[in-house]
Amino acid sequence: MDVAPGALVLSPDSRLGVMTLWDGRVAVGRDGGPWSVAQLAPGFGFSMPSAAVVDAGCAFVLAADGRLAALRGRALSQPP
């Protein structure tokens, strides 16, 4: 990773981890495997100050402008 994470969150059972990076990118780790970097959506959150993991299959990322992105299962989505 080329930047320091803004937030690091883990599910209660530690099976899902999310690190907010920069410019709409997050690092995702699952089940103790290697972390991978994913782009949430074009133009989503240059700064992402917060994230929350609900369980091993659900996480949310908050952009500084108030938009919210969801990670459910292996899919990333951005509510309208």
Give per-residue pLDDT as tens, 25-73. 899 999 999 999 988 877 787 888 899 999 999 999 999 889 999 888 8
Architecture of the structural domain at 7-77: Beta Barrel (2.40)
* pLDDT at 23 (0 to 100): 85
Q: Tell me: the pLDDT tens digits for 54-65? A: 999 999 999 988
Burial 5-25 (b: 16+ CB within 10 A, else e): bbbebebeeeebbbbbbbebb
Given pLDDT bands bounded at 50, 70 and 90, which one contains residue 1? low
Q: What is the mean pLDDT of residues 4-13?
A: 90
- Is the Cβ–Cβ distance between 51 and 18 less than 8 Å? yes
